[in-house]
């Protein structure tokens, strides 16, 4: 049986594309975003996938947005939810609806440098090695159980942009490998 994966993305969708181009790509049933400009939606549309937008500005409260996101995702009956560059914290009500079935990628070796500036924070701290993490989502910010990690060296002269590009290449591979293992283990 094919897995049912809903991918959430806020940006360019390179993580989504890596999943779509992999053997498990056929299991993606929908792609959602919190941004109508997300190029991930274009990638999904080109792949013939349904897309949806849950735009925060269209809701009176954060609770209303959380409820709308949950309803939109539940409509696709996912076995897995993949936060692939989705730049929103998922509410407890959302996390509890998919216990142990939401995964996220992060461009640092957690628990070091959580939050939205992991690459910048690692550079500012002067680390010689950073990397990426795939973890289960819990109610904290990048605090869920770590599933997999991969190191990426910091090179002399690295900027936030150059380091982040190298991390993203590794992050795409690690996401696909990890998701493949998780889906195989749950089938």
106 counts as catalytic: yes
Q: Distance from first CA to last CA of the chain, Å, rounded?
A: 7
Helix (H) or strand (E) holding 141: none
Cα distance between residue 33 and residue 55, in whole Å: 8
Token pair 């498990």 in the structure block, residue: 24
Helix (H) or strand (E) holding 116: none
**C-alpha triplet 25, 49, 101: angle, nearest 5°:** 55
Catalytic residue chosen out of the listed positions 106, 117, 135, 164: 106
What positions carry a catalytic annotation?
106
């Amino acid at each position: 049986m094919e897995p049912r994966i809903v991918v959430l993305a806020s940006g360019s969708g390179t993580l989504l594309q890596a999943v779509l181009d992999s053997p498990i790509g056929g299991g993606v049933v929908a792609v959602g975003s919190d941004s109508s400009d997300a190029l991930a939606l274009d990638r999904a549309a080109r792949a013939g996938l349904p897309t949806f937008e849950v735009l925060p500005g269209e809701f009176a409260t954060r609770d209303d947005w959380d409820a709308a996101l949950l309803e939109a995702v539940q409509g696709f009956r996912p076995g897995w939810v993949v936060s692939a560059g989705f730049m929103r914290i998922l509410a407890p009500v959302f996390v509890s609806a998919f216990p142990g079935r939401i995964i996220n990628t992060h461009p640092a070796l957690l628990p070091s440098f959580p939050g939205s500036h992991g690459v910048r924070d690692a550079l500012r701290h002067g680390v010689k090695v950073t990397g990426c993490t795939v973890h289960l989502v819990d109610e904290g910010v990048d605090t869920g159980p770590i599933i997999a990690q991969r190191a990426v060296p910091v090179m002399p002269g690295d900027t936030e942009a150059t380091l982040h590009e190298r991390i993203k290449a590794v992050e795409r591979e690690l996401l696909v490998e990890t998701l493949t293992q998780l889906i195989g283990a749950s089938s």
